[in-house]
Chains A and B, each alone.
Chain A
Amino acid sequence: MDTVTYPESKVVRFIEENFIPLRLLSDSKPHSEKFNIKWTPTLITLSPEAQEHHRTVGFFGPEELIPSLLLGLGKYHYENDRFDEALVRLEQLVDGYGKSGSAPEAIFLVGVCSYKRSHDAKPLKAAYEKLSAAFPDNEWTKRAYPYRLL
C-alpha cells in the first residue's frame, strides 16, 4: 500500500478530503485486540464514536481502494439512517467505479437505501435487475434474488 496505492495523488486527495486518517501498528494494544486484527493491511471505516462500519483485509490498488472507501462512507451514513447522504456516496461508486469489486454491494445498498427513504419497493427490484445483468454470479445478486418478485 505504501509503495503503490498511498502515494497516488488521487488517493491522498480522496482520503484527506473524506476521512481523518489514522495508522496503528498491527500489534498496538489495546486497539489490535479490540478490533481483532489478524492480518495486514486491515482498513476500517470508523465513526467518530468508534463504531465500525466497513472493513477490508489485504492489498488494494488505487482503482479498488477509492471505491472501497466510498462503500465505507456509504455504509457509515446508511447505518446511521442518513439515507440521502448514503445514496450520494453509493451512486458515486456505482457511476464512477461500476466494474470494481465494491460495486455489487453498492448496487444492493442503493436499492435498500432508496426503499428505506421512500417505502417504494421498485428500487429493490431495480437493484436485483442491475445486479443480475452486470454480476450474474455475485453473492450480492444472490442476496437480492427475492426482490425479482416485487
Chain B
Amino acid sequence: MAEKIQWRTEMDDALCQGQKVGKPILLDFFNPN
C-alpha cells in the first residue's frame, strides 16, 4: 500500500482508469498557496 495518495493530474487519465477498474473518481480542486 502506498504511503501517500497517488494523485493523478489529468482528467481523461483518471476517467479511463476509473472505467477500467470500476471505481469512482475523487476529484480534489485545490489551491497550493
Min CB gap A27→B, angstroms: 8
Interface range for A? 35 or more
30 example contacts (A-B, Cβ-Cβ < 8 A) are as follows: A7-B4, A12-B3, A13-B1, A18-B23, A19-B23, A19-B26, A20-B14, A21-B5, A21-B28, A22-B9, A22-B11, A22-B28, A23-B8, A23-B30, A24-B30, A25-B29, A25-B32, A28-B29, A35-B29, A37-B29, A43-B27, A44-B26, A45-B24, A45-B26, A46-B26, A46-B27, A48-B18, A50-B15, A69-B26, A73-B24
What are the residues of chain B within 8 A of A138 when measuring CB–CB?
Answer: none
Contacts of A69 in B (CB 8 A): 26
Evaluate whether A12 and B4 lie within 8 angstroms (CB atoms) in the complex, with A26-B31, A43-B28 already known. Answer: yes
Interface core residue of B1, B3, B6, B11 (most chain A CB under 10 Å) = B11
Interchain CB contact under 8 A, A46 and B28: no
Give residues in B with beta carbon < 8 Å to A: 1-11, 14-15, 17-19, 21-32
- Indicate if the CB atoms of A53 and B24 lie closer than 8 Å: yes
B5 contacts A16, C-beta separation under 8 Å:
yes
**Nearest residue in B to A52 (C-beta to C-beta)?**
B27
| Contact status of A12 and B1, CB under 8 A, knowing A24-B9, A25-B30 | yes
- Asked if A20 and B30 sit within 8 Å, CB to CB, the answer is no
A residues near B28, Cβ cutoff 8 Å: 1, 21-24, 41-43
> Which residues on B sit within 8 Å (CB–CB) of A35?
27, 29
Beyond A21-B28, A43-B27, A45-B24, is A6–B5 a contact (Cβ under 8 Å)?
Answer: yes
Are B29 and A24 in contact, with the CB atoms below 8 A? yes
Q: Chain B contacts of A53 at CB under 8 A? A: 24
